[in-house]
Structure 1
Amino acid sequence: MSNGDLNWITNFIWGIADDVLRDIYVRGKYRDVILPMTVIRRLDAVLEPTKQSVLDLKKQLDEAGITNQDAALRQASGQAFYNTSPFLLRDLKARPKAQQLKADLEAYLDGFSPNVQDILDKFKFRNQIPTLVEADILGYLIEKFLDNSINLSPNPIYDPAGNVRLPPLDNHAIGTIFEELIRRFNEENNEEAGEHFTPRDVVRLMADLVILPIADKIESATYLLYDGACGTGGMLTIADERLKQIAQEHGKDVSIHLFGQEVNPETYAITKADLLIKGEGDEAEYFFLGSTLSQDAFASREFDFMLSNPPYGKSWKADMERMGGKADILDLRFVIEHAGDPDFKLITRSSDGQMMFLVNMLSKMKHQTPLGSRIAEVHNGSSLFTGDAGQGESNIRRWIIENDWLEAIIALPLNMFYNTGIATYIWVLTNRKPDHRKGKVQLIDATSWFKPLRKNLGKKNCELSAEDIQRIVDLFLSFQESEQSKIFANESFGFSKVTVERPLRLQVELSDAARARFRKACVEAKDEALSSLMDHVAESLGPGPHLDFNAFMAATEQRAKKQGIKITAKRQKLIQTALAEKDEDAAPIIKKVYRPGKTEPNPLYGRFEVKVNGRSQIVEYEADSELRDVEQVPLLEEGGIEAFFLREVLPHVPDAWIDETSAKIGYEISFTRYFYKPTPLRTLEEIRADILSLEKETEGLLDEIIGGEVS
């Protein structure tokens, strides 16, 4: 059947909505009727030749008391589905009474096999029947789908002379028509389209990125394709076609099985219906409804190829709560052992779960096969940099890159998707990197390679032409540096985040005014004894200021001991906050004194050698939280953290040190930094010419204004 014929049939079905449903349904709801009716009519036409055989067998099985009839009835129908009602769809159009038609249609629908029932339930088509009956358009709708000017059957229709009047519609052709209807309805509902519909040009690029690098290694074998957010199944079906095409070009005969999971009931129904009407009913058994994150349907499966466009910027809080809450998630996909940490968490913020879908796919890689697994997944820009070192998003990037699974990230043009104009990226991953890619990541800027659309489809105003796709794939396969291609060592994206501390420096004044303020604080703290103690300390030490808080506290403790008062941590805190004040000229406060010989001095990490009571001792200072700073040290920094600290920190703050317990490794990827193109400054001649041009444009304007006022 020619493309023209297919387009004609598609347009005919598309026109049924306007002919029958106008004024009864709003345009956004046409799909609720047209899609399930297209499925029903196709299944009806496919089952017609074997209808009597199914009915005869059904009668025999019932009389024999056999309850498990599904396999036998499938065999009788010659399909992966069947219908045991006494009706065909054409039997219903002659019903004169609406209520009889309603009852017979419901009986007809009830006769379908369980796999079709699942589709009808998720479409919620039975919910539409009362509306169609009430509007008295149900019979008209059925007649339209049985119109003798179109053939939705896999068998030809002949004229009275025995000539073919309408050619047969094979599984591929009806699949093409169905997918085109889905595309058109998605475009009509732009606000929803991007949630479950990825443009075909993007899917073709993703399929080529995962398949072409190993095209010459494909064998005559069975391959498994998976999508954990499969939507209407478009990614899988296009990848399926592409893999078969490439295998055929290399003289290989491959068997491919598709696996998918989808959380939206209607799109799940569309996927299964698409497979059924394409004659791939067995494949439909590998698709499941439910959340991939909290209800993984393929926990024990591994796959050769995985493609996905997960929801981004969408909360997965409900899944998180079903899994026990962020702190108590024990799912081995998301809590792993890595870098010596047995509880390395790959759990993102609840507000955006897109990277969790990537982790899910990585958990399903094949590790025991020569080709391993190849993955392509679409993300927005936040997956590149969101999350601080040690947080879920950064941990995921670290886990991926340190395992050397990331091959490339491709930046796509803006406005590529139907419901968003934001920047999007394709991540390409594998656990079988070729030798020349090991230890490296390729970044490709394809933002300027696109073809404008003549008419916007929602927010989508451009597409990838075949030439654009080929250019991106060629650049990916060549693995060469260019203006649009940058290659980096894995470590280029990593950094150590360290906390830089500075000592707390306090001075104490014991003037009358200062003690009066302190006395008020002691009253509020119900500790008049401490206030009295400080009056005695003032008598012995004088008003100050006292710039050595350590010596001041030693004197205070001696006096307190004479008066039978104990300086508790609470009392010391009150002295620090209500009496002492910060002073950069004061001595650092000593937090800890090490026993002689127990540790070596190391000023970089806060162990200083000082004189205490005339003796050299190793001490740690109290850190001033207000002076605390954080530094990110690249993993490729020559000399590491210490060299960076000596060069970038100590020359500016000589009393600083590194909190060695604070170091955390993080990873982020900045396309803007790597592909930044500064705008060249204008020359002086250009600036001068603009000024002269402005002067000329405004020449005489001031005189005209002043002259107008004077006159």
Structure 2
Amino acid sequence: MKDILSYESEIWACADLLISSGIKQSKFPDYMMPFFALIMLEGRMRNEMRDIQEAEGIDPTENIEDFVEAFRDRECGYNDYIVRQNKTLSSICDNDKTFEQDFSQYLAGFDAQLKELLGIERGTDDSKYLNLDGMVAELRKKGILMQYITGWAQIDLSPYNNSEITTLEEHIKRKWADISAETAGEQYTPEDIISLIAEIVAAKIDIPKRDFVHLYDPTCGGANLLFGVADRLREGAGYEFIAANGCDWNDALYALAKIESLFRDNAEIKYGNTLTSLPFNGKSFDVVVANPPYGIPWKGYEKEIRDDQTGQFAFLPSVSDGQLLFLQHNAWHLHDSKGIVVEVNNGSSLFSGDAGSGESNVRKYLFDNDWVEAIIQMPSDEFFNTGIVTYLWILNKNKSADRKNKVILINASDLWQPLKKNKGSKRKEMNETHRADIVRALVEFRDCDIAKVYDKWHFYFNKQQIELTEIDEAGRSASESLGYYGEPYKIKNFEATYDEANGWLWPIGDNAEYPEEALANLDIQPKDIIIFSKEYIYISGKNRPGIIQISRKDGSDENLGMGCLNFSISRSKTTGKVSASAKVTNKTDKDTEVIPYNPDPEENDRVIAEFLARYLSKPYRLLDNTVGVEVNFNKEFYVPETVEPVDTILAEIAEIDSELATLEKELGL
């Protein structure tokens, strides 16, 4: 029996007909998925038929009704044409004259559930999933239906067990991801990442091997991550009973996952928007794994998310990216006393959004509850359709005492080996040794060459808003010079009319002539602000912008320092009398300082005060303070670039000069 993966090239050879028929490569998965599902179903059904004969001793040639009943009892789907009549796609393709009739009977033989998943006899139903009828119609219109199906019919998967068929399926789905996925990591998680996640789960969960492990993937796609982790836990870690639960609302991928689940024990795949339809509402899981799409907006179902009453979302991130919605959803579904979440995200979940934003508040919520146990940076170029760096978030609601309020960062960015042949954007993979190093660092939970352990508060920060008072070179501000220390100084005994053209306030009364003389003497420009009281003339901007000066009637001047002249005019509706109020205020600017955080309120106040005293030279007033959380691997694992000593550089330059001189001599220059 040949290696099942040798069929991979034969499957893709079927695509040659699509190319010659003018079908774009990006559409290949639409045409290939339903027919791969057909041969996968046929191969697995024939496996079940053989097992019934061997394990239950029922011979279909002698007692077909008992045989059919035994097959139906296995609840793995049914096709009367395959089971009762023992026909295959290959036998249908043997006779071109009866092909259309036989193929129609073959499709009609599936039970109702499989017809729904395959997209057979769906009519105008929107949920066509694999849309087999639609693809058959297109292929028939192009005149290649029988030829195309004949290519698929040569692929006989019946000699292989379910695990082997799954292996082939994952290889094919990976290639579909290469050519059709529009979103990074949306469809397929690489096998080395799946192995790492499974090994992390096996090392972290404390569940007896004979107990059920309840596993959940809220964005399961074709279920390669979900079933891949389940298989590795069963085969590699010895967990015999695993209930695998998944959800997705990509029609074709859901259908493939659902079909796969029919041939597995304790597997349940549901269709729908995980965040709004909540297919597993009220259920807690021991293990949650997920690779949600990166950077996908959730605006299309924003109302449902904002109206959510379940409590799964403590805060909402920007509508441009839903990753942190899934991280909260997964934490919400995680069992309180056991198990972990392992979710793949890109870097935006670590640091996007300022303090007080939805993103920062989600991170703070997870850290406040002390659910974040580890974050692992993966190598770049690990996924098939993106070269970006990804991260594993590991959440644990039941940390051991020595890990309370602590988080380990593991930098696995250099733990990789090059692929012999690139697979799309995937150029790197982690081997068994690399994965073991990561798991060891997580289990030992101490500083090492690839990991650092932090108090969780290390990732918190104060975003302190302040009001800065502008001062002149002598350190003066107008309000303080007048003895009001930051409060507005109200100019008293002031009554005036307002010259709107020039922006001046003219006094009313006995001294009406005085301002004109004063203005002439002071050489005031219309852009300047002048306010007259009985004692002084207040001038802003005469010497330079922002400086307040007072001029006395005796001609003496005094600079008060930096500040502003503010005045307001009101007119009585009944008398028409104009009144004005005038103030001297400090000139202020608002600024923000990012300051380390301390969980003790008094100590945090002291940290803020010391920081501002050290770095600010201007008087300030504290405004609002917002606490944020972010994680920056570049900062935590920064390695300064090494610079060669000056002597070495000079020696290299001298050597180059010598070589150039020799070359010039040889050339006779």
TM-score (norm 2): 0.76
- The residue aligned with 2:632 is 670
> 1:119-158 maps to which residues of 2 (within 5 A)?
119-120=117-118, 121-147=128-154, 151-153=156-158
| CA separation of 1:647 and 1:272: change in aligned 2, threshold 3 A | closer
Q: Partners of 1:537 and 1:499 in 2: how far apart?
A: 46
Structure 2: which amino acid aligns with 1:37? F
Describe the SS at the equivalent of 2:317: coil
Is residue 2:500 matched to residue 1:519? yes
Aligned to 1:23: 20
Residues 546 and 564 in structure 2, CA contact (< 8 A), matched pair in contact too: no
Q: Which amino acid aligns with 2:501?
A: K
Residue 176 of structure 2 aligns to a residue whose secondary structure is helix
Give the whole-Å Cα distance in 1 for the aligned partners of 2:185 and 2:509: 73
Instruction: Please state how far the C-alpha of 1:79 moved relative to its aligned partner.
Output: 3.2
1:7 aligns with 2:5: yes
Alpha-carbon displacement from aligned partner over 1:305-354 (angstroms, at most 9, x marks no partner): 0111111122222122454xxxx544444554xxxxxxxxx211111221
| Other-structure match for 1:618 | none
More helix, by proportion: 1
Q: 1:247 to 1:386 in 2, by over 3 A?
A: same
- The 5-angstrom pairing of residues 3-402 of structure 1 reads 4-18=2-16, 20-24=17-21, 25-47=23-45, 49=49, 76=72, 78-84=74-80, 88-90=87-89, 92-93=92-93, 96-97=96-97, 101-102=99-100, 105-120=103-118, 121-147=128-154, 151-153=156-158, 168-189=159-180, 194-214=185-205, 217-245=207-235, 247-248=237-238, 254-276=240-262, 279-280=263-264, 283=267, 286-323=268-305, 328-333=306-311, 335-336=313-314, 346-367=315-336, 369=337, 371=338, 373-402=339-368
How far residue 679 of structure 1 moved from its aligned partner, in angstroms, is: 1.5
Match of 2:390 in 1: 424
Q: Is 1:649 paired with 2:613?
A: yes
Amino acid at match of 1:244: R
Contact 1:415 1:421 (8 Å CA) reproduced: yes
Distance in 2, matches of 1:429 and 1:635, equals 23
State the shift of 1:673 in Å. 1.2
Amino acid in structure 1 at the alignment position of 2:167: T
Higher mean Cα deviation, 628-637 or 456-465? 628-637
Q: How far off its partner does 1:219 sit?
A: 4.2
Q: Which amino acid letter does the alignment assign opposite residue 634 of structure 2?
A: T
Task: Answer whether contact 1:404 1:438 (CA < 8 A) is retained.
Answer: yes
Kindly tell me: are residues 280 and 402 of structure 1, through their superposed partners in 2, closer, same or farther at Cα, counting changes over 3 Å? same
CA RMSD of aligned residues (A): 4.2
SS at match of 1:123: coil
1:70-99 CA-to-partner distances (Å, cap 9, x unmatched) read xx97964643312356974456435545xx
SS at match of 1:502: strand
* Residue-by-residue CA offset, 1:9-44 (whole Å, 9 max, x unaligned): 4444343444x5451244444433333223223434
- 8 Å Cα contact 2:200/2:439 also seen in 1: yes
SS of residue matched to 2:325: helix
Q: Partners of 1:681 and 1:486 in 2: how far apart? A: 26
Q: By how many angstroms is 1:393 displaced?
A: 1.0
Q: Does 1:489 align with 2:455?
A: yes
Unaligned runs of 5+ in 1: 58-71, 154-167, 337-345, 523-529, 547-551, 560-574, 592-620
3-state SS of the aligned residue for 2:129? helix
Whether the 8 Å CA contact 2:499–2:506 is kept in 1: the answer is no
Q: Distance in 2 between matches of 1:54 and 1:361?
A: 49
Q: Quick one: structure 1 residues 555 and 288, their matched pair in 2 at CA, closer, same or farther if it must change by over 3 Å?
A: farther
Match for residue 693 of structure 1 among 631, 655, 660: 655
2: CA distance, partners of 1:673 / 1:679: 14
One-letter code aligned to 2:146: G
SS where residue 173 of structure 2 aligns?
A: helix
1:288 and 1:534 mapped to 2: Cα distance?
A: 83
The alpha carbon displacement at 1:200 in A equals 0.8
Residues 73 and 82, structure 1, Cα contact 8 Å, conserved in 2: no
The secondary structure found in structure 2 opposite 1:294 is: helix
Report % sequence identity: 27
Counterparts in 2 of 1:214 and 1:41: CA distance versus 1, 3 Å:
closer
Contact 1:294/1:320 (8 A) holds in 2: no
The 1-side partners of 2:249 and 2:61 are apart by 37
1:102-148 Cα shifts (integer Å, max 9, x gaps): 4653454244223312321311221111232234433334444444x
Residue 474 of structure 1, CA deviation? 1.2
Distance 1:383 1:93, change over 3 A: same
- Residues 330/586 of structure 1: CA separation in 2 closer, same or farther (3 Å cut): farther
Contact conserved, 2:418 with 2:428, CA < 8 A, in 1? Answer: yes
Question: Residue 633 of structure 1 aligns to a residue in which SS?
Answer: strand
- 1:577-588 aligned at under 5 Å gives the runs 582-583=546-547, 585-586=560-561
Deviation string, structure 1 residues 279-317 (Cα, Å, up to 9, x no partner) = 12762xx32333323333223221110111111122222
Distance (whole Å) between structure 2 residues aligned to residue 389 and residue 537 of structure 1: 56
Aligned to 2:641: 679
Q: Matched residues in 2 for 1:534 and 1:631: separation?
A: 47
Give the direction of change, closer, same or farther, for the CA distance of 1:126–1:664 in structure 2 (3 Å limit): same
Which of these residues, 456, 461, 486, is aligned with residue 422 of structure 2? 456
Distance in 2 (alpha carbons) for counterparts of 1:576 and 1:350 = 47
Contact 1:10/1:181 (8 A) holds in 2: yes
After superposition, the Cα gap between the structure-2 partners of 1:419 and 1:639, relative to the gap in structure 1 and judged at 3 Å, is: same
> Structure 1 pair 538/648, CA: closer, same or farther in 2 (3 Å)?
farther
**Preserved contact between residue 262 and residue 291 of structure 1 (Cα < 8 Å):** yes
What letter corresponds to residue 163 of structure 2 in structure 1?
H
The Cα shift of 1:236 comes to 0.9
Contact 2:462/2:625 (<8 A) preserved: yes
Aligned mates of 1:643, 1:177 — CA distance in 2: 59
